[in-house]
């Protein structure tokens, strides 16, 4: 009766110490997953997530301080992938929040100062000095960096409207 | 003039779940009528009690789950109760009927999430639960009234089902399957038993004791053929299930006639035909693809045969169907149809100019 | 006795073809104005080349192909361009799209130069492009692109199955214009030089088959036609040796007229998943397109009109009309005597795969073979209930998929699961939903899931693109910064040198 108790107790003790030792010796300094997550992000450092650049965002996402859905340019597709990578469940927001938007420059007000094109992370704004600028819709991620940079307040964000080409069937409501 | 958003197709063959269920009920009418004729008023009372218990349980569960009571219209609870009643001894007491009806619907169906979600055939689940819990009541078989000459009147009938009226001597008897198990343990050879006790005519027309709806092979077949004709089921499950019990019986009886009974005995007595046409073909718990159905039907028939011959129970339909029900998701996963333009491994076919 | 290779599954819906197939094709009245969508075909929308106020003739190009897979668009009347703007188009969404609106002043034609069978294959293919030809069976794939794969093609299949219920446009076309069809096939033969040509017709079109056989025999000359086994064909296939054309009468079953199904039923060959029929050497062409090819080449007539069935029980005198593209459906419905109060669903296309139109203002387009005005009794009314796993959809599916599992996975947003059960191979034929006793909107589940998958892949592509752009920008900024630093350093060095005379 006594012998097995002692043996099991000792075994537990020894293995416990072994584990503690292993944890100290094989400690990994930085979390490698942060780097992987950073690579998955768009790396435009647009700041729409509220963090300083994609690196900070990756750290926050891995630490659980930010949701995988926090990256608007990445959209739901990226969120799903991130959630899969980190093994967390995902609360996909309403589509209403995720409507992709793009910037529009009011050509009446634009003075051609090029400030917007300088801050654009994806070079989506074209136009030389003193020329009215235009937005390449395909490249615009709707990050609003230009909106804040514009001294004339002539940039507004417009939601991408649904067209015949982009329309898809809604989910059936029935059973 | 327009409704909001309607997706194609804008045509339908107008089949509904309700119509399928009612069609099965229609197919059950001949053998039910025969059962009530054979076993008199108590049988009718038992049937009504079971159906009522099933429908009441369904209504209660729908209420509990906050689902519309209009779901009752699909008549699936009626059918479940009906099928259960037909597989019970005709004079089973009321509480067997009520417990059975409740168990079938609440535990057999609603607990899984309602219609379409259940893993096991609700009627068979309830039958097996009753058989295990109340073996005495579940194996008390009255003789048909025209055999025993005892036909209970109204008061007696209520007494048998709802009261404690003891049955007079000589109105019950063993089923032929049970009888053989007893005789075999006493050393009677199958050949002798077959010659002395089995009558194909009796089993075919249904004058031997048995469950309420299972006695007459002829009327079960009639209902089954109606189901096939009205396209509620296809021939695959019933035919293969019958053969996979009948053919092993035939082969064994050819080689060892003293120990095993043959094709006619196994196919036409007990619940095999009833199970093959009405129980195993249950839409929800049988595989969806043809190949899957064939495997499933083979399992149902063959396992039933094994249970009848080698296991402690004289009848094994309930067990074999439940066993194959449990395998159905697996069968469905592996027996998928071949996809057009893909090979059997579901990889796209190779481009080659033919 | 040979028998046809069978298609899997399939259904036999009420045909309702008798409503519209007893009257000759009527010429629809020319409309006051036409609305011509710039995106009537698969691929990129066409680019308009006319301005508001321009006067145009019938058959004049008003929009050029907007890409490799795109099509020319011609004016279908002569008159004045009134507007280039957004109008409701025949699309399930009911949304508006870019159209050219033309007010009609007459009907003065502008033809392309006539060609003949002597012209080279390249010139003929170019003609298909100039004439704006697209498949007229529904998918509207630009025809010239199909014919560009001519070297791979060994068999031309002319699709005259017309398996959609109600619709009889191809049926009537065969009855009235058999010669035109044959000359169209000859042109296609000239381009493709196929080993065999098979016309596939469903056996419910007895009258059309009789007329087509007669015309083929006449064209074939005195040499008697025989029965020959070109592919594993049934004995109801007649082979016309001089013409090198076979006419195969196939059993009526929906969806035999699907491209993949027709190839299967006629030849036993399956088109590999995710591939076009040309990958296994087939070119499948709708019979109406074949007739249009004849017009385009021999008459120099671009695709500006088509035959359309206007039918349904909310229509008093259903029939087939030869109408100009861009004609508002309301005008065609009026000419067929539609009773607006009785119409409870208006559909462009057939009842199995057609789309509901929210308004009668939408115009007729190249791929629209039928306009259905259904009354209340004709449309399914039952509400959907939970799936009972009966497997009827599995048996009905012509592609060998498991619709109930696809729908279940879609419901729980597991699109990969739906793909595993065959979502990507689904042709949206609606056979499963037709037989579903629970009346589940199966096709909508699949449309929805396909849409979600498309959105996802679009988003992924966009994300990649964004990442690429930002890398380019950062690289550029770095280079600029380096250059600046280098220049500064050089300047500093220079200054140092000048201030430090030796």
Extract the tokens encoding B206: 């249904």
Nearest residue to B179 via CA among B43, B270, B271, B85 = B270
- Domain range C387-502, its CATH number among 1.10.1060, 1.10.1740, 2.50.20, 2.60.40: 1.10.1060
Question: What are the b/e assignments for C170-183, b being 16+ CB within 10 Å?
Answer: bbbbbbbbbebbbb
| Top mean-pLDDT range of B174-183, B340-349, C348-357 | C348-357
Pairing of strands A125-126, A134-135: antiparallel
Helix (H, G, I), strand (E, B) or coil at C115: coil
Nearest residue to C72 via CA among C302, C290, C298, C291 = C302
Residue whose tokens read 């060095």:
C493
Beta bridge partners of A105: A155
Please indicate if any CB of chain A lies within 8 Å of the CB of C456. yes
Please give the helix or strand (H or E) that residue C102 lies within, else none. strand C96-106
Give chain B positions within 8 Å (CB) of A170. Answer: 5
Peptide bond into C266 cis (omega under 30): no
Residue with more model confidence, A126 or C14: C14
Q: What is the 3-state secondary structure (H, E, C) of B234-265?
A: CCHHHHHHHHHHHHHHHHHHHHCCCCCCCHHH
How many other β-carbons are positioned within 10 Å of the β-carbon of residue A158? 13
Helix (H, G, I), strand (E, B) or coil at C125: helix
Distance from CA of C96 to the nearest CA of A (A): 7
**Mean pLDDT over residues B233-259, rounded?**
91
Residue with more model confidence, A87 or C206: C206
Give chain A positions within 8 Å (CB) of C444. Answer: 169, 172
Nearest residue to B276 via CA among B244, B306, B249 = B244
Contact A123 C466 (CB under 8 A): no
Nearest residue to C89 via CA among C77, C101, C107 = C101
Contact C463 A122 (CB under 8 A): no
Tens of pLDDT, residues C34-53: 999 999 998 899 999 999 99
Beta bridge partners of C338: C315
From the list B6, B293, B340, which residue is nearest C345 (CB)?
B6
Contact B71 C385 (CB under 8 A): yes
What's this model's pTM, rounded to 2 decimal places? 0.86
Chain A with chain C: Cβ pairs closer than 8 A: 96
Distance from CA of B232 to the nearest CA of A (A): 22
Which of the four pLDDT bands, split at 50, 70 and 90, describes residue A57? confident
Residues of B numbered 54-93 whose beta carbons fall under 8 angstroms of chain C's beta carbons: which are they? 71, 74
Please give the helix or strand (H or E) that residue A17 lies within, else none. helix A2-25
Residue C363: DSSP 8-state: B
Do residues B10 and C351 lie in contact, with contact meaning Cβ atoms separated by under 8 Å? Answer: yes
Question: What are the b/e assignments for C393-422, b being 16+ CB within 10 Å?
Answer: bbbbbbbbbbbbbbbbbbbeeebebbbbbb
**What is the per-residue DSSP string for B81-97?**
HHHHHHTS-TT--HHHH
Extract the tokens encoding C149: 């794969």
Do residues B319 and B303 lie in contact, with contact meaning Cβ atoms separated by under 8 Å? Answer: yes
Does the domain made of C17-305 have the CATH classification 3.90.1150.10? no
Which of the four pLDDT bands, split at 50, 70 and 90, describes residue A96? very low
**Mean pLDDT over residues B92-109, rounded?**
94
From the list C441, C455, C457, which residue is nearest A174 (CB)?
C441
In the predicted model, what is the mean pLDDT of chain A? 80
CA–CA distance, B28 with B50 (Å, rounded to integer): 15
Q: Length of chain A in residues, anyone?
A: 175
Which of the four pLDDT bands, split at 50, 70 and 90, describes residue A174? low
The nearest alpha carbon in chain B to C392 belongs to B288
Do residues B322 and B128 lie in contact, with contact meaning Cβ atoms separated by under 8 Å? Answer: yes
How many other β-carbons are positioned within 10 Å of the β-carbon of residue C224? 9
**Top-level CATH class of A101-159?**
alpha beta
% chain C with pLDDT above 70 = 95
Residue with more model confidence, C357 or A152: C357
CA–CA distance, C405 with C389 (Å, rounded to integer): 9
CA distances to A113, A136, C119, C133 from A118, rounded to whole Å, are 10, 14, 57, 47
Point out the least confidently predicted range of B217-221, B347-351, C156-160. B347-351
Question: What are the b/e assignments for C239-263, b being 16+ CB within 10 Å?
Answer: bbeebbbbbbbbbbbbbbbbbbbbb
Contact B7 A170 (CB under 8 A): no
- Provide the pLDDT for residue C185: 95
Q: Length of chain C in residues, anyone?
A: 502
Do residues C78 and C105 lie in contact, with contact meaning Cβ atoms separated by under 8 Å? Answer: yes
Q: Is the dihedral of CA B282, B285, B289, B293 positive or negative?
A: negative
**Mean pLDDT over residues C13-26, rounded?**
92
Please indicate if any CB of chain A lies within 8 Å of the CB of C22. no
Please indicate if any CB of chain C lies within 8 Å of the CB of A45. yes
Q: Where are the domains of chain B?
A: 16-173, 190-208+233-335
Nearest residue to A41 via CA among A11, A23, A62 = A62
Please indicate if any CB of chain C lies within 8 Å of the CB of A171. yes
Please indicate if any CB of chain C lies within 8 Å of the CB of B351. yes
CA distances to A37, A58, A170, C458 from A92, rounded to whole Å, are 19, 18, 16, 18
Point out the least confidently predicted range of B81-95, B236-250, C221-235, C273-287. C221-235
Pairing of strands C237-240, C355-356: unpaired
Q: Where are the domains of chain A?
A: 32-86, 101-159
Element counts in chain C: helices (H) and strands (E): 13, 18
CA distances to B238, C146, C161, C238 from C262, rounded to whole Å, are 34, 17, 8, 17
Residues of C numbered 22-81 whose beta carbons fall under 8 angstroms of chain B's beta carbons: which are they? none
Tens of pLDDT, residues C306-330: 999 999 999 999 999 999 999 999 9
Distance from CA of A15 to the nearest CA of C (A): 42
Tens of pLDDT, residues C48-91: 999 999 999 999 999 999 889 999 999 999 999 999 999 999 99
Distance from CA of A86 to the nearest CA of C (A): 18
Which of the four pLDDT bands, split at 50, 70 and 90, describes residue C225? low
Nearest residue to C240 via CA among C276, C202, C205, C189 = C189
B36: phi then psi, degrees, rounded to nearest 5: -70, -35
- Provide the pLDDT for residue A33: 80
CA–CA distance, B213 with B31 (Å, rounded to integer): 5
Interface test with C, best of A76, A77, A125 (most C CBs within 10 A): A77
Q: What is the CA radius of gyration of chain A?
A: 25
- Provide the pLDDT for residue B225: 95
**Mean pLDDT over residues C230-241, rounded?**
66
Q: Is the dihedral of CA B250, B253, B259, B261 positive or negative?
A: positive
Which of the four pLDDT bands, split at 50, 70 and 90, describes residue B2? very low
| Top mean-pLDDT range of A71-85, B279-293, C455-469 | B279-293
Tens of pLDDT, residues C134-168: 999 888 899 999 999 888 899 999 999 999 999 99
Q: Which residues lie closer than 8 Å to C449 by C-beta, 6 or more apart?
A: C406, C410, C415, C418, C423
The helix, strand and coil proportions of chain B, stated in percent and rounded to the nearest 5, come to 65, 0, 35
Residue with more model confidence, B165 or B24: B24
Do residues A72 and A48 lie in contact, with contact meaning Cβ atoms separated by under 8 Å? Answer: yes
Indicate whether C332 pLDDT > 80: yes
- Provide the pLDDT for residue A30: 62
Indicate whether C501 pLDDT > 70: no
Give chain C positions within 8 Å (CB) of A164. Answer: 39, 89, 91, 93, 95-97
Indicate whether B3 pLDDT > 70: no
Extract the tokens encoding C470: 């930002």
C192: phi then psi, degrees, rounded to nearest 5: -90, -25
Indicate whether C14 pLDDT > 90: yes
Please indicate if any CB of chain B lies within 8 Å of the CB of C119. no
Residue whose tokens read 């309830």:
B126
Q: Which residues lie closer than 8 Å to B1 by C-beta, 6 or more apart?
A: C340, C341, C343, C344, C346
Q: Is the dihedral of CA C275, C277, C279, C283 positive or negative?
A: negative
The answer for C163, left when phi > 0, alpha when psi is -120 to 50, beta otherwise, is alpha
Residues of B numbered 2-61 whose beta carbons fall under 8 angstroms of chain A's beta carbons: which are they? 5, 7
Give chain B positions within 8 Å (CB) of C164. Answer: none
Residue with more model confidence, A47 or B342: B342
Contact C93 A162 (CB under 8 A): yes
Beta bridge partners of C245: C197, C240
Contact B340 C354 (CB under 8 A): no
Fold of A32-86: 3-methyladenine DNA Glycosylase II; Chain A, domain 3 (1.10.15)
- Provide the pLDDT for residue B1: 39
Helix (H, G, I), strand (E, B) or coil at B23: helix
% chain B with pLDDT above 90 = 55
CA–CA distance, C478 with B331 (Å, rounded to integer): 61
Extract the tokens encoding B163: 């009261």
- Provide the pLDDT for residue C2: 45
Please indicate if any CB of chain A lies within 8 Å of the CB of C385. yes
| Chain C neighbours, 3+ Cβ pairs < 8 A | A, B
How many other β-carbons are positioned within 10 Å of the β-carbon of residue B159? 16
In the predicted model, what is the mean pLDDT of chain C? 90
| Chain A neighbours, 3+ Cβ pairs < 8 A | B, C
**Mean pLDDT over residues C468-497, rounded?**
85
Interface test with A, best of C470, C473, C474, C478 (most A CBs within 10 A): C470
Which of the four pLDDT bands, split at 50, 70 and 90, describes residue A123? confident
- Provide the pLDDT for residue C273: 93
Please indicate if any CB of chain B lies within 8 Å of the CB of C230. no
Please indicate if any CB of chain A lies within 8 Å of the CB of B186. no
Which of the four pLDDT bands, split at 50, 70 and 90, describes residue B353? low
CA–CA distance, C195 with C87 (Å, rounded to integer): 45
Point out the least confidently predicted range of A98-112, B266-280, C399-413. A98-112
**What is the per-residue DSSP string for B284-316?**
TTS-SSHHHHHHHHHHHHHHHHHHHHHSSSS--
Indicate whether A93 pLDDT > 60: no
- Provide the pLDDT for residue B136: 87
CA–CA distance, C392 with B71 (Å, rounded to integer): 21
CA–CA distance, B310 with A82 (Å, rounded to integer): 57
């Amino acid at each position: 009766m006594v012998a097995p108790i002692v043996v099991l107790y000792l075994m537990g003790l020894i293995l416990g110490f072994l584990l503690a030792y292993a944890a100290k010796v094989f400690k990994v300094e930085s979390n490698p997953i942060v780097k992987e997550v950073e690579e998955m992000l768009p790396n435009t450092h647009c700041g729409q997530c509220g963090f300083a650049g994609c690196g900070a965002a990756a750290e926050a996402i891995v630490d659980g301080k930010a949701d995988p859905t926090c990256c608007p340019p990445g959209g739901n597709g990226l969120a799903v992938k991130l959630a899969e990578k980190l093994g967390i469940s995902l609360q996909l927001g309403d589509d209403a929040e995720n409507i992709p938007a793009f910037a529009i420059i009011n050509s009446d007000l634009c003075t051609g100062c090029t400030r917007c094109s300088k801050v654009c992370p994806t070079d989506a704004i074209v136009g030389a000095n003193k020329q009215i600028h235009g937005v390449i819709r395909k490249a615009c991620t709707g990050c609003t960096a230009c909106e804040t940079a514009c001294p004339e307040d002539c940039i507004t964000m417009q939601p991408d409207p649904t067209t015949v080409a982009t329309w898809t069937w809604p989910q059936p409501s029935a059973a | 003039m327009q409704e909001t958003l309607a997706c194609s197709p804008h045509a339908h063959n107008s089949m509904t779940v309700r119509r399928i269920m009612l069609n099965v009920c229609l197919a059950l009418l001949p053998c039910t009528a025969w059962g009530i004729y054979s076993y008199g008023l108590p049988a009718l009372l038992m049937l009504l009690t079971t159906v009522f218990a099933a429908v009441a349980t369904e209504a209660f569960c729908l209420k509990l789950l906050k689902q519309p009571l209009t779901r009752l219209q699909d008549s699936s609870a009626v059918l479940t109760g009906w099928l259960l009643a037909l597989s019970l001894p005709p004079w089973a007491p009321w509480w067997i009927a009520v417990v059975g009806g409740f168990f079938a619907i609440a535990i057999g169906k609603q607990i899984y999430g309602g219609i379409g979600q259940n893993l096991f055939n609700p009627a068979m689940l309830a039958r097996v639960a009753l058989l295990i819990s109340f073996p005495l009541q579940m194996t008390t078989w009255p003789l048909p009234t025209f055999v025993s000459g005892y036909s209970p009147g109204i008061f007696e009938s209520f007494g048998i089902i709802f009261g404690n009226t003891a049955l007079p001597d000589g109105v019950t008897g063993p089923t032929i399957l049970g009888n053989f198990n007893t005789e075999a343990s006493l050393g009677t050879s199958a050949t002798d038993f077959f010659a002395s006790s089995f009558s194909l005519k009796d089993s075919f027309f249904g004058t031997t004791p048995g469950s309420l709806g299972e006695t007459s092979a002829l009327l079960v077949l009639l209902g089954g053929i109606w189901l096939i004709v009205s396209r509620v089921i296809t021939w695959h499950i019933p035919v293969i299930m019958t053969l996979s019990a009948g053919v092993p019986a035939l082969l064994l009886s050819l080689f060892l006639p003293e120990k095993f009974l043959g094709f006619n005995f196994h196919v036409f007595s007990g619940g095999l035909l009833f199970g093959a046409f009405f129980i195993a073909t249950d839409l929800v718990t049988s595989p969806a693809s043809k190949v899957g159905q064939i495997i499933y039907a083979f399992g149902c028939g063959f396992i039933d045969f094994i249970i009848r011959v080698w296991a402690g129970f004289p009848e094994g339909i309930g067990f074999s169907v439940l066993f194959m029900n449990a395998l159905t998701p697996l069968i469905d996963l592996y027996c998928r149809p071949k996809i057009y333009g893909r090979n059997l491994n579901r990889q796209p076919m190779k481009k080659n100019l033919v | 006795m040979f028998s046809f290779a069978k298609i899997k599954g399939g259904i036999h819906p009420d045909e309702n073809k008798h409503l519209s197939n007893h009257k000759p094709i009527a010429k629809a009245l020319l409309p006051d104005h036409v609305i011509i969508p710039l995106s009537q075909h698969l691929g990129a929308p066409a680019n308009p080349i006319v301005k508001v106020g321009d006067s145009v003739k019938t058959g004049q190009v008003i929009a050029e192909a907007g890409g490799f897979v795109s099509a020319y668009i011609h004016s279908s009347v002569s008159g004045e361009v009134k507007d280039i703007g957004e109008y409701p188009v025949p699309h399930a969404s009911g949304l508006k799209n870019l159209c050219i609106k033309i007010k009609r002043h007459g009907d003065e034609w502008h033809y392309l130069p006539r060609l003949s069978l002597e012209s080279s294959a390249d010139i003929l293919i170019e003609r298909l492009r100039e004439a704006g030809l697209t498949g007229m069976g529904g998918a509207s794939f630009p025809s010239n692109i199909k014919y560009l794969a001519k070297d791979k093609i060994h068999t031309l299949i002319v699709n005259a199955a017309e398996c959609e219920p109600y619709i009889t446009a191809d049926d009537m076309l065969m009855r009235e214009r058999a010669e035109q069809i044959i000359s169209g096939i000859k042109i296609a033969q000239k381009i493709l030089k196929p080993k065999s040509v098979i016309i596939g017709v469903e056996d419910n079109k007895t009258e059309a088959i009789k007329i087509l056989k007669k015309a083929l025999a006449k064209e074939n000359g005195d040499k008697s036609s025989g029965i020959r086994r070109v592919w594993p064909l049934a004995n109801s296939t007649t082979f016309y040796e001089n013409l090198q054309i076979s006419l195969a009468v196939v059993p009526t079953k929906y969806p035999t007229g699907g491209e993949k199904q027709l190839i299967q039923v006629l030849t036993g060959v399956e088109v590999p998943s995710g591939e076009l029929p040309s990958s296994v050497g087939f070119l499948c062409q709708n019979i109406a397109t074949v007739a249009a090819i004849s017009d385009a080449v021999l008459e120099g007539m671009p695709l500006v009109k088509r035959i359309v069935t206007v039918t349904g029980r909310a229509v008093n005198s259903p029939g087939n009309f030869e109408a100009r593209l861009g004609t508002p459906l309301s005008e065609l419905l009026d000419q067929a005597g539609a009773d607006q109060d009785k119409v409870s669903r208006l559909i462009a296309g057939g009842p199995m795969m057609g789309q509901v139109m929210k308004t009668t203002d939408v115009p007729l387009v190249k791929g629209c073979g039928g306009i259905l005005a259904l009354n209340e009794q004709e449309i399914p009314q039952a509400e959907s209930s939970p799936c009972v796993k009966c497997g009827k959809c599995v048996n009905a599916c012509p592609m060998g998929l498991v619709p109930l599992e696809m729908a279940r996975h879609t419901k729980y947003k597991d699109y990969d699961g739906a793909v595993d059960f065959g979502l990507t191979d689904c042709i949206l034929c609606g056979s499963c939903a037709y037989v579903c006793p629970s009346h589940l909107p199966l096709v909508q589940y699949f449309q929805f899931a396909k849409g979600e998958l498309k959105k996802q892949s679009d988003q992924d592509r966009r994300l990649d693109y964004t990442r690429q752009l930002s890398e380019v920008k950062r690289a550029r900024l770095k280079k600029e910064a380096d250059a600046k630093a280098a220049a500064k350093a050089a300047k500093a060095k220079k200054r140092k040198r000048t201030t430090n005379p030796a």
